[in-house]
């Protein structure tokens, strides 16, 4: 069996694995990515690729705002604009009660010194989204938000990694991890790899990787569904979501509508099988046609399910293992990790290369999801 040594082993070839590897390689580390299937096989290939600061958990706001600045210069980071368009993201209120909720959130954000979210009235909403149903009373908008093309992003991050000397092993699932002196020995289907540091970015399977180094991290799973329709003439530019409904609605550069919003299908972590729940999906389609009556008769071309890890508090795990020296956990993005990709890779590099970071990541410690040891 072959044995390969590196400075860092990244477990998981999704966008967070690629971004971590890219930042580490640019800091001079020899990096290997081990990917069980192929790059982008799971959440990073199934994503809606919304690039959203709007409505973020307060713990995520600082890094999300930094990530947004990075998206606006993403071509400088990975040599491609990743299909990123900044037409804004809008969260619509259909009732006065929902508008009150949006105003309350907005007042809180202003108090904290954030100004990226802005409440707009019916007239401005109509100007931004003329095809929206007339009953909507107002909205909140983040004008610098937008959406990208996930496959272009995957290709751009992968190409940049390879240009920096990162070695990517696909079809190379990690099955065991053991401590050997100062190194971790990682066993896979395709031989052994050793390194003093590991980044666990294994998405929905990350708790299993954590368990291999002795960390018991509580983690759930999402099986979010998406719909893509036939191509249409230009209908809207911003990404639209709606208070109180599971709907995220946007039009891609190709003209297709990409409809999601977190409706759940079914998925199995062992067999890797997933299934669309058409009854649930119909709710998303109904919400879409109620908000955009002109799309009532269009055809759905494809629907799919993407698997991702979900934490109890719906914010990610980003930080060193408290038990396993040199192991860093980065997962649990709970359905909104695409936007964070550029900044989280840079944070991983801070932690691993410099031993700490100026970024505010205190709320993301793995310890908060780990079983408390019983008092003696």
Q: Which residues bind ligand FAD (CB under 6 A)?
A: 11-17, 34-37, 41-44, 46-50, 52, 173-174, 201-203, 205, 209, 224, 226, 260, 306, 308, 331, 333, 335-339
* Six token digits for residue 147: 């959406």
Residues 111, 115, 83, CA angle at the centre, nearest 5°? 145
Q: Please say which residue, 99 or 141, places its beta carbon nearer to ligand FAD.
A: 141
Smallest distance from ligand FAD to CB 375, Å: 34
Q: Please say which residue, 15 or 369, places its beta carbon nearer to ligand FAD.
A: 15
Residue with tokens 């793995």: 366
Smallest distance from ligand FAD to CB 345, Å: 10
Smallest distance from ligand FAD to CB 28, Å: 23
Cβ(251)–Cβ(131) below 8 Å: no
Smallest distance from ligand FAD to CB 261, Å: 9
Smallest distance from ligand FAD to CB 365, Å: 17
Smallest distance from ligand FAD to CB 97, Å: 26
Smallest distance from ligand FAD to CB 347, Å: 13
Q: Please say which residue, 29 or 56, places its beta carbon nearer to ligand FAD.
A: 56
Residues 310, 314, 315, CA angle at the centre, nearest 5°? 105
Q: Please say which residue, 124 or 237, places its beta carbon nearer to ligand FAD.
A: 237
Smallest distance from ligand FAD to CB 364, Å: 13
Cβ(182)–Cβ(191) below 8 Å: no
Smallest distance from ligand FAD to CB 234, Å: 21
Smallest distance from ligand FAD to CB 59, Å: 15
Q: Please say which residue, 13 or 326, places its beta carbon nearer to ligand FAD.
A: 13
Residues 20, 70, 327, CA angle at the centre, nearest 5°? 20
Q: Please say which residue, 296 or 302, places its beta carbon nearer to ligand FAD.
A: 302
Helix, coil or strand: residue 11: strand
CB neighbourhood size of 71 (10 A) = 25
Q: Please say which residue, 99 or 158, places its beta carbon nearer to ligand FAD.
A: 158
In 93-149, where does DSSP find H-type helix? 96-111, 122-128
Angle between helices 341-349 and 61-71 (to 10 degrees): 110
Cβ(352)–Cβ(8) below 8 Å: yes
Q: Please say which residue, 270 or 297, places its beta carbon nearer to ligand FAD.
A: 270
Which positions ≥6 away from 300 have C-beta within 8 Å?
227, 228, 229, 230, 285
Cβ(200)–Cβ(329) below 8 Å: yes
Q: Which residues pair with 31 in a beta bridge?
A: 8
Q: Please say which residue, 43 or 77, places its beta carbon nearer to ligand FAD.
A: 43
Helix, coil or strand: residue 185: strand
CB neighbourhood size of 87 (10 A) = 17
Q: Please say which residue, 41 or 158, places its beta carbon nearer to ligand FAD.
A: 41
DSSP letter string, 222-286: EEEEEEEEEE-S---SSEEEETTS--EEEE-TTSEEEEESS-B-EE-TTT--EE--HHHHHHHHH
Helix, coil or strand: residue 354: helix
Cβ(360)–Cβ(67) below 8 Å: no
């Amino acid at each position: 069996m072959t044995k390969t040594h590196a400075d860092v082993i990244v477990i998981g070839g999704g966008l967070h694995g690629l971004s971590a590897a890219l930042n580490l390689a640019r800091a001079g580390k020899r990096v290997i990515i081990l990917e069980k299937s192929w790059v982008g096989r799971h959440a990073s290939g199934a994503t809606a690729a919304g690039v959203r600061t709007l409505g973020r958990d307060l713990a995520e706001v600082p890094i999300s705002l930094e990530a947004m600045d990075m998206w606006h210069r993403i071509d400088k980071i990975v040599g491609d604009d990743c299909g990123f368009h900044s037409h804004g993201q809008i969260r619509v209120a259909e009732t006065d009660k929902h508008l009150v909720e949006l105003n309350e959130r907005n007042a809180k954000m202003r108090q904290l010194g954030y100004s990226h979210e802005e409440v707009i009235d019916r007239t401005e909403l109509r100007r931004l989204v003329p095809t929206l149903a007339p009953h909507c009373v107002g909205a909140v908008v983040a004008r610098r938000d937008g959406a990208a093309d996930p496959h272009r992003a995957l290709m751009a991050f992968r190409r940049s990694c390879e240009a920096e000397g990162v070695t990517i092993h696909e079809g190379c699932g990690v099955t065991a991890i053991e401590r050997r002196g100062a190194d971790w020995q990682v066993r896979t289907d395709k031989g052994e790899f050793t390194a003093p540091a590991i980044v666990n970015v294994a998405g929905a399977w990350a708790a299993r990787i954590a368990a291999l180094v002795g960390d018991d991290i509580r983690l759930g799973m999402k099986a979010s569904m998406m719909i893509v329709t036939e191509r249409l003439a230009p209908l809207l530019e911003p990404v639209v979501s709606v208070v109180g409904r599971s709907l995220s609605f946007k039009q891609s550069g190709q003209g297709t509508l990409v409809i999601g919003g977190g409706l759940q299908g079914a998925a199995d972590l062992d067999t890797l099988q997933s299934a669309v729940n058409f009854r649930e999906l119909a709710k998303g389609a109904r919400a879409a046609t109620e908000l955009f009556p002109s799309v009532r008769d269009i055809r759905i071309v494809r629907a799919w399910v993407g698997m991702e890890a979900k934490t109890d508090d719906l914010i990610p795990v980003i930080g060193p293992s408290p038990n396993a020296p040199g192991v860093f956990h980065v997962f649990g993005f709970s359905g909104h990790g695409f936007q964070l990709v550029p900044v989280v890779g840079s944070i991983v590099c801070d932690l691993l290369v410099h031993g700490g970071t100026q970024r505010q990541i205190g709320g993301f410690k793995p310890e908060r999801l780990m079983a408390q040891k019983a008092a003696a």
